[in-house]
Amino acid sequence: MPDVEDGTENIFEDFGSNIGQGSSSGTNISKRKQYSDDTKRAVYAMLLEGSVRGHLPEGLSLHVSLAMDVSLRCVQRIWKEGQKRGGIHAVINKRVGHCGRKRIELPMEAITAIPFQDRTTLEDLARRLGVSKSHVHRRLKEGKIERHSSAIKPFLTDENKKARVQHALNMLEPGTVPHQPVFKLMYNVIHADEKWYYRTKANQKYYCTPGEERPRRTCKSKSYIEKVMFFGGQSRPWLNDQNVCVFDGKIGIYAFVTTEPAKRKSPNRPRGTPITKPITSVTRDVIRRYLIDKMLPDIKAKWPAEGRHETIWIQQDNCRSHIPVDDPEFCAAAQADGWDIRLTCQPANSPDTNVLDLGLFAAIQALFQRSGMPKTIDEIVQKVEAAYWNFPVGRSNRVFLTLQGCLREILKEKGGQHYPVPHMKKATLERLGILPKTLSCDPTIVQEAIEFLASV
């Protein structure tokens, strides 16, 4: 008797310990496997083929279970369901649609009630909503919540808005207003602007393998990173009826650099070797010299013959280093040899009216970085120029359509600038051969813009 009692105690102790382990760990809890309708019907077909007068011979269920890698109990259940419900078409998965625990929905009203400054991160938003961060992240991936990057834009006065609306109206074909407003083709407008290009970024992203040594970069200060300012000019590419490029619109991109002999020798070069140095102070005189000595000769050399006798406009912004539109020295050089080239200024605080700021400079920056980080000033100049000349003509043409879309939004917003940059799947339309050369504008929007100018 003592032996039996001791054995009984051991059995209950083991049983209790197993229960405790199973309750404390999820590894002993097996999740029920779900099979597709095709698998279940294949199992039922094998059972039906081996059945005798509606009965299963001994061992058939086990044979099908091993052959189909389906549990024996599931095989038996499939046979019973098929027999009871009328055959193979009744063998279906009962778990159709949304199953399991219902998700916790995020009320949109609760999110909009939270101030913007209290939902700049997922963690802050989750804390205010009283849910987990992972739950908010899942709603973000599903598109229930959208991430938005808010860029600070220039402040616009009433005069700025009026000038923006007037500029957008001037870009419409006069003969199409007010009934069927259409934007001009803009073939005779050259957009000019400046941009800094750096040898490397202050914060550069790399992709590394686990355990790999990370890149180490040092510099005294961000201001010590070598950089060069470039002055670029771009007009709209000329495409014929067969969509073949006649003129790529690329006037040129010019680096503000000087070449002078080295005053001292170094381990890398002897004294007197020509070295390239960036021009750190770009003044009005420098801009005038680059316009007259570089851009104007390139315009006259590259401009198509059929547009030779039209007025060509060089659009610039209103920074103080730019020359006035009636600069005598520039006007004399621009009108020499019978040319009619004039300067015009875009509205103040309006980078969205210049194709270089809209996307061309950023695209060149991406191509410039993709070719590898330069190590010298000369390499910066070479890589930026290569990126400019290798920029696809089709993308340049699409940027001008983006400009027209922005001008349309400016009219709609009465000179405002808080609008999303319009996207119209231009690459898809170009691939299908239906990309328009110019965009139209709603007559109501144009009429309201004209009334806005009259009321200001």
More confident residue, 296 or 94: 296
| Number of structural domains in the chain | 3
Give the pLDDT score at 186: 95
- Residue 218 resides in a domain: no
- Residue 1 resides in a domain: no
The encoded tokens of residue 47 equal: 């059972």
- Residue 327 resides in a domain: yes
- Please write the tens of the pLDDT for every residue from 161-213: 999 999 999 999 999 988 899 999 999 999 999 999 998 888 888 899 999 99
Give the pLDDT score at 269: 84
| Structural domain for 287, as ranges | 158-201+224-455
The encoded tokens of residue 333 equal: 């050089």
Give the pLDDT score at 140: 92
Q: Is the pLDDT of residue 17 over 50?
A: no
- Please write the tens of the pLDDT for every residue from 340-360: 999 999 999 999 999 999 988
- Residue 151 resides in a domain: no
- Give the residue from 227, 241, 222 showing the smallest Cα distance to 381: 227
- Residue 148 resides in a domain: no
List Cβ neighbours of 377 (8 Å cut-off, separation of 6 or more). 226, 228, 257, 276, 277, 278
Q: Is the pLDDT of residue 216 over 50?
A: yes
Give the pLDDT score at 98: 62
Q: Is the pLDDT of residue 13 over 90?
A: no
Q: Is the pLDDT of residue 373 over 50?
A: yes
Mean pLDDT of the chain: 87
Give the pLDDT score at 266: 86
The amino acid present at 61, given as its one-letter code, is S
Looking at the chain, the whole-number percentage of residues with pLDDT higher than 90 is 56
- Residue 190 resides in a domain: yes
Q: Which residues of 179-191 are buried (b: 16+ CB within 10 A; e: fewer)?
A: eebbbeebbbbbb
- Residue 18 resides in a domain: no
3-state SS, one letter per residue, for the chain: CHHHHHHHHHHHHHHHHHHHHHHHCHHHCCCCCCCCHHHHHHHHHHHHHHCECCECCCCHHHHHHHHHCCCHHHHHHHHHHHHHHCCHHHCCCCCCCCCCCCCCCCCHHHHHCCCHHHCCCHHHHHHHHCCCHHHHHHHHHHCCCCCCCCCCCCCCCHHHHHHHHHHHHHCECHHHCCCCCEECCCCCEEEEEEEEEECCCCCCCCCCCCCCCCCCCCCCCHHHCCEEEEEEEEECCEECCCCCEEECCEEEEEECEEEEECCCCECCECCCCEEEEECCCCCHHHHHHHHHHHHHHHHHHHCCHHHCCCCEEEEECCCCCCCCCCCHHHHHHHCHHHCCEEEEECCCCCHHHCHHHHHHHHHHHHHHHHCCCCCCHHHHHHHHHHHHHCCCHHHHHHHHHHHHHHHHHHHHCCCCCCCCCCCCCHHHHHHHCCCCCCCECCHHHHHHHHHHHHHC
pTM score: 0.74
Same domain assignment for residues 40 and 185: no
Give the pLDDT score at 30: 61
Q: Is the pLDDT of residue 320 over 80?
A: yes
Same domain assignment for residues 229 and 365: yes
355: domain CATH number? 3.30.420.10
Q: Is the pLDDT of residue 367 over 90?
A: no
Quick one: average pLDDT of 84-92? 78
Give the pLDDT score at 96: 64
Quick one: average pLDDT of 420-426? 91
Q: Is the pLDDT of residue 437 over 50?
A: yes
List the single range of 18-32, 53-67, 370-384, 410-424 with lowest mean pLDDT.
18-32
Quick one: average pLDDT of 322-339? 94
- Residue 211 resides in a domain: no
235 phi/psi in degrees, rounded to 5 = -115, 175
- Please write the tens of the pLDDT for every residue from 106-148: 888 889 999 999 999 999 999 999 899 999 999 999 998 999 9
Same domain assignment for residues 416 and 394: yes
